[in-house]
Structure 1
Amino acid sequence: MSSKAKRVLLTRPEPPSVEQILADVQGTHPSDPVFVLPAEPPQDPGPAPGCPEPAAEERERLYRQIRSYVGMNQRLQRSREQLRERRRELQRVGEALDRGIAEMRQKAF
């Protein structure tokens, strides 16, 4: 039988601190590709002369698609607010739990 050697995974490095990020950003050259804005995409001028306008059913399909997108976006925003409130509540409960544990430890010792 063969035994598999255990792989030792390297630990992840700590993320940079805010100060390190700011120092890195301040030390970059203004022509750094990160800071160069891409060229504006060409604007859609609409249908070319002589080409027909989109059909009514195509406009209706696009309208329904946009309404669906707007509705989904609104639901996502509401969900985000609900998640924020739940997170705040969990933080409050966690802090209360920490205080309770600290009180129990004081009474035990």
Structure 2
Amino acid sequence: MNFGSKSKKRMVLPTRPEPPTVEQIMEDVNRAYPNDPVFTVLPDSAEDLKASSSNSEVEVRYLQSRRYIELHERLQEERGSLARRRDELRAAGESLERSVMEVKRSAL
């Protein structure tokens, strides 16, 4: 039996849908609830967005997020550093124990 000669049916994928029109997008945006997470951070209007200072809520949250990521990365680095130090201390402790045992043996 020759398994390589089996004909495989190719799955035909559906055609890609057309992107939504501007009207459809606007309709979706207008139907969104006021407490929709996408809109809770943004100011109410485009004018407010332009007029908002650099200390806006969006900017503050962005900076908080960046700080969190930086701290997380630093913690990961420190975690690795602490693991290396722990291993070094463990090795030094074992070496010290061997030295103490050798001194005790030589003293007897």
Partners of 1:64 and 1:74 lie apart in 2 by 15
Shift of 1:58: 1.3
Shift of 1:52: 2.6
Task: Find the counterpart in structure 1 of residue 44 from structure 2.
Answer: 52
The structure carrying a bigger helix percent of its residues is: 2
Runs of 4+ in 1 over 6 A off after TM superposition: none
Task: Find the counterpart in structure 2 of residue 14 from structure 1.
Answer: none
Shift of 1:89: 0.1
Shift of 1:45: 3.6
Paired residues in the alignment total 64
| Higher relative contact order (Cα pairs below 8 Å, separated by 6+ residues) | 2
> What do you get for the CA RMSD once the two structures are aligned?
2.4
Partners of 2:36 and 2:96 lie apart in 1 by 61
Unaligned 5+ residue runs, structure 2?
1-34
Query: Aligned ranges for residues 2-21 of structure 1 at < 5 Å?
Result: none
TM-score, normalising length: structure 1? 0.51
Greater Cα radius of gyration, structure 1 or 2: 2
TM-score, normalising length: structure 2? 0.52
Shift of 1:59: 1.0
Shift of 1:61: 1.0
Overall identity of the aligned pairs, in %: 33
